[in-house]
Amino acid sequence: MMNKEIINLQSKINADLNDIYSSGPASLVETFNYVMSGKGKRIRPLLTLLTSKSLFGEYTKSYNAALAIEILHNFTLVHDDIMDNDVLRHGKITVHEKWDTPTAILIGDAMLAKSINILTEAKYNQNLIKSFNRALLAVCEGQALDKEFENKKYVTENEYFDMIEKKTSHLIAMPIEIGSLSYNSPSIDSKNLFNFGLAIGKAFQIQDDFLEIMSTPKIMKKSLNSDILLGKKTYPIILCNKIDKNFTEKILKNKNTEQIILIIRKFMLKNKLDVEIEKKIDKFYKQAFNYIKKINFVNEDLLNFVNKLKKRRN
């Protein structure tokens, strides 16, 4: 699948998301459409559709589920933005900032409700519904762990991997799994695709954490400040802490976040942590592709898309 085809698919998804919730209370419809008109890359529904396409040459059966998944993802963003006190998302003012916290809580709840309503209305099979619901609970638990870690001085690598598996990977693995479950694939294939997704989800998250420290804010298009100042345990912090248990305490004595980032970068380069991180990312990608090497795909669309995501540098 060419880049142009991805762009066409994104446009189709955007157009359909724009029409999906129009007959509800005016306040919900307005905020729903505000959120869904954000400039997200629609990675999760694309993963669902491209999985179906690579397995079965088409995606008609998984299309409604793909839309539900994107709405679910956006529900998590709206609530996370309240919890993390973020002001911008995809270049737009967040809901709780533009309106208020009650509005943001309620539209998040309604988006979640709408997403599972889409699934039941489309009469999907029980395995698909189960996969969706399991990811939902995992995401909540991952977010809880992420918040717990903010107040922990020291977090092990395994605790971190468990947290990002729940918080990030499930929302990558489930969309891929559902691309196969909506066509009633053999369960061994669905399971392998799910595990493929868990591994690439971890690679993505580590890559994101790494870029957050190594890029300038302009490239990353995101404030670098909030995560570090909140005490978030990102992968570079985990590794720095492994070498020096008092690392986070030390850097947080500094109040200038740009200086903090420079200190982290210097410490990482000195201890070759950049090399270690790149190796870890490769390890997870290798693990991921191992899971699916026995699957007979009819085309390379899914793999090409994942490789494209792998190469992104912002």
Q: How far is the CB of 124 from its own copies (least distance, A)?
A: 9
Q: How far is the CB of 2 from its own copies (least distance, A)?
A: 38
Measured CA to CA, the distance from residue 251 to residue 244 in angstroms comes to 11
The answer to the question of residue 156 lying near its own copies (CB under 8 A) is: no
Among 126, 158, 256, 314, binds its own copies (CB under 8 A): 126
Among 53, 114, 170, 202, binds its own copies (CB under 8 A): 114
Measured CA to CA, the distance from residue 5 to residue 10 in angstroms comes to 9
160 with 205: CB under 8 angstroms? no
The answer to the question of residue 109 lying near its own copies (CB under 8 A) is: yes
# residues contacting its own copies (CB under 8 A): 39
Nearer to its own copies, 15 or 144 (CB): 144
Among 3, 18, 120, 246, binds its own copies (CB under 8 A): 120
Amino acid, single-letter form, for residue 165:
E
The answer to the question of residue 134 lying near its own copies (CB under 8 A) is: yes
DSSP 202-230: HHHHHHHHHHHHHS-HHHHTS-SHHHHHH
Q: How far is the CB of 134 from its own copies (least distance, A)?
A: 7
**Other Cβ atoms within 10 Å of 257 Cβ, number:** 17
Among 39, 130, 245, 286, binds its own copies (CB under 8 A): 130
Among 43, 93, 105, 309, binds its own copies (CB under 8 A): 105
Q: Which ranges of 37-182 does DSSP label H, i.e. alpha helix?
A: 43-56, 63-83, 95-98, 101-121, 126-150, 157-164, 170-181
41 with 139: CB under 8 angstroms? no
Nearer to its own copies, 47 or 139 (CB): 139
Tell me the per-residue interface mask from 16 to 55 with its own copies, x by CB under 8 A, - otherwise.
--------xxxxx---------------------------
**Other Cβ atoms within 10 Å of 128 Cβ, number:** 24
Measured CA to CA, the distance from residue 80 to residue 56 in angstroms comes to 35
Among 61, 90, 147, 265, binds its own copies (CB under 8 A): 147
Nearer to its own copies, 131 or 192 (CB): 131
Measured CA to CA, the distance from residue 76 to residue 34 in angstroms comes to 15
Q: Residue 82 corresponds to which tokens in the numbers above? A: 């309240």
Q: Residue 6 corresponds to which tokens in the numbers above? A: 């991805």
Q: How far is the CB of 123 from its own copies (least distance, A)?
A: 7
The answer to the question of residue 276 lying near its own copies (CB under 8 A) is: no
Q: How far, CA to CA in Å, does 177 sit from each of 64, 115, 209, 265?
A: 14, 17, 25, 37
62 with 185: CB under 8 angstroms? no
Q: How far is the CB of 100 from its own copies (least distance, A)?
A: 9
Bridging pattern class, strands 88-89 and 92-93: antiparallel
Nearer to its own copies, 133 or 156 (CB): 133
Residues of the shown chain interacting with its own copies in the complex, contacts defined by CB under 8 A? 24-28, 79, 82-83, 101-103, 105-106, 108-110, 112-114, 116-117, 120-121, 123, 126, 129-130, 133-134, 136-137, 139-141, 143-145, 147-148
